[in-house]
Amino acid sequence: MTKEQTAIKATYFSIASNALLALIKGLAGFFGNSYALTADAIESTTDIFSSLLVLFGIKYSNKPADDNHPYGHGRAEPLVTFLVVGFLITSATIIAYESIGNINTPHELPASWTLIILGTIILWKEYSFRLVMKRSKEANSSSLKADAWHHRSDAITSVAAFTGISIALFLGKGYESADDLAALFASGFIFYNSYKIFRPALGEIMDEHLYDDLVVEIRKVSLQVQGVESTEKCFIRKAGMKYHVDLHAIVNANITVREGHDISHLLKDTLRAEIPELGHVLIHIEPSYS
3-state secondary structure of 222: helix
Distance of CA 100 to the CA centre of its chain: 30
What was the pLDDT predicted at 216? Answer: 93
pTM equals 0.65
What Cα–Cα distance (Å) separates residue 251 from each residue in 52, 149, 229, 261, 270? 49, 46, 5, 11, 16
Q: What CATH number is attached to the domain comprising 181?
A: 1.20.1510.10
- What does the pLDDT profile of the chain (290 residues) look like in tens digits? 677 778 788 888 888 888 888 888 888 888 887 766 777 777 777 778 778 877 877 777 777 777 887 777 777 778 888 887 887 788 788 878 877 877 776 666 677 888 888 888 889 888 988 888 888 887 777 777 777 877 877 787 778 778 877 887 787 776 667 767 777 887 887 788 788 778 878 877 887 777 888 899 999 999 999 999 999 999 998 877 788 999 999 999 989 999 999 999 999 999 999 988 888 899 999 998 66
Query: Of 205, 230, 255, which one is at a domain's C-terminal end?
Result: 205
Quick one: 171 and 219 in the same domain?
no
Quick one: 112 and 149 in the same domain?
yes
Total number of domains in the chain: 2
Do residues 172 and 107 make contact, with C-beta atoms less than 8 angstroms apart?
no
Q: What CATH number is attached to the domain comprising 267?
A: 3.30.70.1350
What was the pLDDT predicted at 82? Answer: 85
What was the pLDDT predicted at 62? Answer: 73
CB count, 10 Å around CB of 5?
Answer: 12
| Helix or strand run (H / E) with residue 90 | helix 76-103
Quick one: 115 and 64 in the same domain?
yes
Query: Of 205, 223, 250, which one is at a domain's C-terminal end?
Result: 205
Query: Of 205, 223, 249, which one is at a domain's C-terminal end?
Result: 205
Quick one: 93 and 158 in the same domain?
yes
Residue type, 265: H
Quick one: 112 and 255 in the same domain?
no
Give the orientation angle of helix 114-139 with respect to helix 3-31, to 10 degrees: 170
Quick one: 272 and 188 in the same domain?
no
What was the pLDDT predicted at 186? Answer: 76
Burial class of residue 28 (count of CB atoms within 10 Å of its CB; 0-12, 13-18, 19+): buried
Among 244, 48, 58, 50, residue whose Cα is nearest residue 139: 58
Cα separation, 279 vs 258, in Å, equals 25
Quick one: 72 and 51 in the same domain?
yes
Cα separation, 181 vs 105, in Å, equals 12
Quick one: 101 and 236 in the same domain?
no
Quick one: 41 and 155 in the same domain?
yes
Quick one: 48 and 155 in the same domain?
yes
Cα separation, 251 vs 233, in Å, equals 14
Quick one: 250 and 108 in the same domain?
no
Q: Give the structural domain span for 12.
A: 3-205
Quick one: 137 and 50 in the same domain?
yes
